[in-house]
Amino acid sequence: MALTEELKRCPLCGGASGREGLNGKVPLVKCHGCGFVYAGSSDREIEAANRCGEETKDLYRQIQSAFDVAWFDWLVSRFPGTTVLDIGCGNGLLLRRYQAAGWTVAGVDPAPWAQTTDYPVFADMSQTPRDYYDVVTCTSALEHLPEPVAMVKLALGAVRPGGVVYMSVPNYDSWAARRRPERMREQEVPHHCNFFTPRDLRRLCRCAGASSFRIRSYGLPLAWDVWRKHRLKAGKRAASSCIRTQQQSPRPGWKHRLVVKAYYWAGFWRGDKLELYMTQPF
C-alpha cells in the first residue's frame, strides 16, 4: 500500500496528504489540495492523547497567574452580551471572570474534574442549547480536536443571531515557526493535532459555513513558552503559593494589564497566536 493511502485524509477539505515530517513516531502530514498540516494519527489516538486527568488540573494551578486573569478580563471586555459558553473551559478561569462581570456562564469540557463547578459544564456540545448564547469562546482548544470543522459548526449553532464566536489557536505561520519550523514539530503530537495558518482558518470558516469572520495575529513571539517554563519552575520551588482552590484567582494590577496589551499588539505581524472572530448573521 502506498504511503499516501495510509495517511489520514485532511480534516479541512478531505483531500489526500503526503508526509510533512515526524514527531517521534507520529507523522505530520500535509494536504495535497489545501496545504493544511496536521497529525496523521487516528481520531481515537488524538482523543486518547487529550484526555485530561488530575495532573492537568494541577498544571493549571501551577502556571496560571495574574497575567492570565488580566488577559481574560480584557477578553471579557471586548464583546457585548450577558450569556457565554466556553468550549474547553478547563478549570473555568475565563468563566469566573465572566461571572465577576455579571454574565450567565456555561462551559463544555469532557474532564470530570472540570464539571464539579457552581455553573453548568456540559460533557460535549450535543448537550448545549442552540441559538442561545451572546458569545461562544474556544481558546487554545481547536488545535486539539480531530474534527475542527464540525466543532466550528457546533459553535456557530450555539450562538444567537448577532452573537460572536471567538477562537484562538497557535500560529503555524508565525515568525518563530518560520524561523524554526522544528519548533512546531517539538510540540506534543498528537496532543496538538492541527497546525493552523491564517489561510487554513479562512478555509475552515468557509467549510463550516461562516459568512462573516475576521482573523488576526497576536502574541509576542516565544513569550508564552518562556513564561510557561518560568511558572513551572516557580511552582516547583514554592508549590504551596501556586496551588489555589478552584474559586480563587490571583488579582491583576495595572502593570499586568499593561503587559498583556503590549504582548497582544507585539504580535500583530506573524505573532505566536491567531484569533478568529465569527459573527452569526441576523
Residue (of 83, 37, 99, 73) closest to 264 by Cα position: 73
pLDDT at 239 over 80: no
pLDDT at 247 over 70: no
Contact 152, 204 (CB under 8 A): yes
All 3 cell numbers of residue 270?
Answer: 506573524
> What amino acid occupies position 8?
K
Contact 26, 40 (CB under 8 A): yes
Pick the CATH number of 53-279 from 1.25.40.10, 3.30.365.10, 3.40.50.150, 3.90.1150.10: 3.40.50.150
From the number of C-beta atoms within 10 Å of its C-beta (0-12, 13-18, 19+), residue 133 rates as buried
Tell me if residue 101 falls in helix, strand or coil. coil
The overall pTM is greater than 0.85: yes
Radius of gyration of the chain (CA): 19
* Average confidence score pLDDT of the chain: 85
Residue corresponding to grid cell 493552523: 196
Which residue ranges does the chain devote to CATH 3.40.50.150? Answer: 53-279
Residues 177-225 have pLDDT tens digits of 887 766 655 567 888 999 999 999 999 999 999 999 999 999 987 665 6
Residues 162-180 have pLDDT tens digits of 999 999 999 999 988 887 7
pLDDT at 25 over 90: no
